[in-house]
Amino acid sequence: MSDPRLAIIPGRFDNVERIIAVSSGKGGVGKSMVAVALALSLRAHSHKVGLLDLDFTSPSTHVILGVEGLYPEEEKGITPPESQGLSYMSIVHYSADEPVPLRGLDASNAIIELLAITRWEELDYLIIDMPPGIGDATLDMLRLIPRIEFLVVTTPSRLAYESVRKLLVLLKDQKIPTIGVVENMVVKQTDFIKEEIHKIGSRYLGAIDHDASAEAAIGHLEKLEMTHFYRQVEKIGEGI
């Protein structure tokens, strides 16, 4: 008989207007920074926004937000705590920021458990910071989350793009809506990524310049919101 948790997951998103997975084929492309800046900028435009960190083995959104010691409330499931105006859910609420060494099946079970018990309030956007690659978490999202859309992050590196291209092909083959691709950490603008994205029929959402001040703003939101990086993510957010 089927897993009882699976029966309730789709309904957990009934109050959420748009579910956007910020994803990449490769790690280290700035996905979490883009996810947090996108969530904060949408909130700054008076939207109700949730942020879900699904990178269980390397969660980092709590570091960017500069929060610790949050704990969800229990109410016929669990309600995500509020952080910086966002409904915020992360495994660190339960792992106390200790290492989370999970094999694939365990990671998948943990994701299913968290999705089944989390009750999201009414949201305009739920931004999901995905782990890199096309492994368990990505496949679970494609299987379990209704109406999910992907916003894909790459860097100008051909190595990063090669992995991103595979993710884009998978999403296209599975007929999963893809908002488009963001080119992050751009030092010198070229058309390479833009042309490659157009070749496979996806949308190039824009370039984000490499911004050393963004690294210095990690954990300090008032500084992050002043960066060139944040403003560029905000502009991309206005177009989605």
Partner 1 sequence: MHEWALAEGIVKTADKFAEDQGIEEITEVKIMIGELQQVEHEIIEFALDQLRTPRMKLAKFTIETSPARFKCRKCTHEWQLNTRNLDKETGEAIHFVPEMAHVYLTCPNCGSPDFEVTEGRGVWLVSIKGRKKE
Binding site for partner 1 (CB under 8 A): 1-8, 74-78, 91, 94-96, 98-103, 106-107, 109-110, 113-114, 116-117
Min CB(90)–partner 1 separation in Å = 11
Whose Cβ is closer to partner 1: residue 109's or residue 157's? Answer: 109
Closest approach of Cβ 109 to partner 1, in Å? 6
For residues 148 and 54, give the distance between their C-alpha atoms in angstroms, rounded to a whole number: 14
Q: Which is nearer to partner 1, 48 or 93 (CB)?
A: 93
Q: Which is nearer to partner 1, 75 or 191 (CB)?
A: 75
Q: Measured from the CB of residue 9, what is the shortest distance to partner 1 in angstroms?
A: 9
Between the alpha carbon of residue 174 and those of residues 25, 46, 54, 141, 171, the distances in Å are 16, 33, 21, 12, 5
Other Cβ atoms closer than 10 A to 238: 10
H/E stretch holding 212 reads helix 212-216
Residue whose CB is less far from partner 1, 5 or 194: 5
Residue 187 burial (CB count, 10 A): 9
Residue with tokens 């999970």, as numbered in its chain? 102
DSSP H/E element including 228: helix 228-238
Return the ∠ at Cα 127 (arms to 229 and 7), rounded to 5°.
165
Q: Which is nearer to partner 1, 74 or 195 (CB)?
A: 74
Cβ-based nearer residue to partner 1, 74 or 162: 74
Residue 74 C-beta: closest distance to partner 1, Å: 5
CB of 49 to partner 1, least distance (A): 23
Nearest-angstrom CA–CA distance, 109 and 134: 17
CB of 25 to partner 1, least distance (A): 25
Q: Which amino acid, one-letter code, is at 106? A: D
**What is the rounded CA–CA span in Å between residue 42 and residue 30?**
18
- CA separation for the pair 37, 31 (Å, rounded): 10
